[in-house]
């Protein structure tokens, strides 16, 4: 009866078809969200692997290692004994399902995972902690895990070396946390987070990390005080830095606007705020042009930074070029980094999380190291 009616009255059945289409795409969306994305050193996707959640812990099939770590790996699994042997990079790892101990030979090393490997539907599965904790002991790699976005980045250790590349010690990097003081709060989130505090937290975290990695960082302000643009520029140019990073947060009337954004000062770029930028431009054109001498370097650094921070971003970060008064008088390569939208609930939540602040700071330090190393290398090649 229902079928006959359906064919007789196609227009009435259209909503049912639409409902099915929506249902299918919705479930497809959920399926996509249950994968972990593996990312390589250059930000490229190595694999997208479906995970199983067991007691809120992410588990991945042991054979994932073959795709993302070592294609030569063998992983014989002894079903009755529930014992998994991984042979990779000249090492042999022995694991038992339900047991958190990992034994590695040669060397008789023992590691304790924070969750045991498990046989799920007869398949040996490894907890996410295995990837984070064990892989760096098997090869010269570093592993970064982003729980919120379910991403793992496996990159060569040399990128984030504890030893300082030649010449890097001479680099002075100026970090400029925007706003500050009682009357310049910047933008504000619904949960009471101020831009001036977020950017200062990130700046201080960068400074803390830089001490461990031999980079000289100067902050334009290290406490909650008001600084004019001129004062910031004076501090910056007096320190004769090699790189300038201005930190800000965004706000929008549209609550769904979110994400990290990068800006470079380019007077030929698209004007950022049509109504206010034009009169300022006329007066400041000469100053803006001086920063432009560093346009190429600013673009280079921005793209390194983009690659590093993309790991933390839901959507790929966009670099925009505008005439930017904030960077106009800065006589060195410079970028303006907007860490997220405080008007967006997701971004505001992330930016109030100290772990996320630390991840951002780490990403910025990585980018500085990578960029300074590449500049030093090309300087060496040119005989400077």
Number of chain residues interacting with Zn ion (CB under 5 A) = 3
The tokens describing 83, both together, are: 């014992």
Stretch binding Zn ion (CB under 5 A), from 48-56, 62-70, 178-186, 288-296: 178-186
The nearest distance, CB 197 to Zn ion, in angstroms, is 12
Give CA angle at 100 (96, 105), nearest 5°. 65
The nearest distance, CB 352 to Zn ion, in angstroms, is 17
DSSP secondary structure code for residue 194 in this structure: B
Stretch binding Zn ion (CB under 5 A), from 29-37, 46-54, 243-251, 253-261: 243-251
Q: Which of 117, 178, 241, 340 binds Zn ion (CB under 5 A)?
A: 178
Q: Which is nearer to Zn ion, 248 or 261 (CB)?
A: 248
Q: Does 248 bind Zn ion (CB under 5 A)?
A: yes
Give CA angle at 341 (336, 346), nearest 5°. 135
Q: Does 177 bind Zn ion (CB under 5 A)?
A: no
Cα Rg of the chain (Å, integer): 25
Closest-by-Cβ residue to Zn ion is 248
Angstrom CA distances, 175 to 194, 214, 248, 329, 343, stand at 18, 16, 11, 15, 24
Stretch binding Zn ion (CB under 5 A), from 90-98, 142-150, 185-193, 264-272: 185-193
The nearest distance, CB 290 to Zn ion, in angstroms, is 23
- H-state helical runs in 34-152: 64-68, 128-133, 135-138
The nearest distance, CB 341 to Zn ion, in angstroms, is 12
Q: Which of 177, 180, 186, 333 binds Zn ion (CB under 5 A)?
A: 186
Q: Which is nearer to Zn ion, 178 or 180 (CB)?
A: 178
Q: Does 261 bind Zn ion (CB under 5 A)?
A: no
DSSP secondary structure code for residue 325 in this structure: G
Q: Which residue has the tokens 């970064």?
A: 144
Residues 87-106 that bind Zn ion (CB under 5 A): none
The nearest distance, CB 161 to Zn ion, in angstroms, is 33
User: Nearest Cα to 119, choosing from 78, 169, 173?
Assistant: 78
Q: Which is nearer to Zn ion, 117 or 340 (CB)?
A: 340
The nearest distance, CB 224 to Zn ion, in angstroms, is 15
CA 360/CA 203 separation, integer angstroms: 10
The nearest distance, CB 187 to Zn ion, in angstroms, is 7
CA 318/CA 91 separation, integer angstroms: 42
| 172 neighbors 242 (Cβ within 8 angstroms) | yes
One character per residue 189-228, x = contact with Zn ion (rule: CB under 5 A):
----------------------------------------
CA 307/CA 333 separation, integer angstroms: 18
Q: Which is nearer to Zn ion, 61 or 186 (CB)?
A: 186
Q: What is the DSSP string of 8-49?
A: H-HHHHHHHHHHHHHHHHHHHHHHHHTEEEEE-TTS-EEEEE
The nearest distance, CB 229 to Zn ion, in angstroms, is 12
Q: Which is nearer to Zn ion, 204 or 213 (CB)?
A: 204
CA 196/CA 201 separation, integer angstroms: 9
List residues binding Zn ion (CB under 5 A): 178, 186, 248
């Amino acid at each position: 009866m229902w079928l006959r009616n359906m064919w007789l009255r196609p227009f009435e059945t259209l909503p049912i078809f639409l409902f099915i289409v929506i249902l299918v795409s919705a479930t497809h969306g959920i399926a996509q969200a249950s994968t972990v994305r593996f990312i390589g050193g250059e930000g490229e996707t190595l694999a997208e692997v479906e995970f199983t959640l067991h007691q809120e812990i992410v588990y991945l099939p042991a054979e994932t290692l073959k795709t993302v770590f070592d294609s030569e790996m063998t992983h014989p699994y002894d079903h009755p004994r529930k014992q998994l042997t991984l042979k990779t990079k000249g090492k042999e790892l022995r694991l038992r399902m339900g047991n958190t101990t990992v034994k590695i030979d040669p060397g008789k090393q023992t590691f304790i995972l924070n969750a045991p490997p498990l046989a799920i539907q007869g398949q040996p599965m490894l907890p996410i902690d295995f990837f984070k904790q064990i892989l760096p002991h098997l090869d010269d790699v570093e592993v970064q895990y982003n729980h919120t976005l379910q991403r793992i980045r496996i990159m060569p250790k040399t990128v984030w070396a504890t030893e300082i590349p030649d010449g890097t010690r001479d680099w002075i990097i100026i970090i400029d946390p925007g706003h500050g003081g009682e009357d310049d709060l910047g933008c504000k989130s619904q949960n009471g987070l101020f831009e001036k505090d977020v950017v200062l937290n990130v700046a201080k975290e960068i400074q803390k990390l830089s001490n461990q990695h031999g980079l000289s960082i100067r902050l334009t302000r290290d406490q909650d005080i008001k600084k004019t643009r001129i004062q910031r520029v004076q501090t910056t140019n007096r320190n004769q830095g090699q790189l300038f990073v201005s930190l800000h947060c965004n706000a929008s009337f549209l609550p769904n606007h979110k994400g990290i954004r990068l800006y470079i000062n380019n007077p030929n770029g698209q004007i950022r705020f049509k109504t206010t930028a034009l009169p300022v431009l006329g007066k400041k054109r000469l100053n803006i042009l001086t920063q432009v001498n560093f346009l190429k370097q600013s673009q280079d650094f921005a793209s390194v930074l983009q690659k590093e921070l993309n790991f933390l971003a839901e959507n790929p970060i966009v670099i925009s070029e505008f005439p930017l008064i904030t960077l106009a008088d800065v006589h060195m390569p410079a970028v303006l980094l907007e860490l997220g939208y405080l008007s967006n609930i997701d971004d505001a939540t992330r930016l109030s999380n100290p772990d996320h602040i630390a991840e951002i700071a780490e990403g910025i330090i990585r980018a500085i190291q990578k960029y300074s190393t590449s500049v030093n290398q090309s300087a060496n090649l040119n005989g400077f």
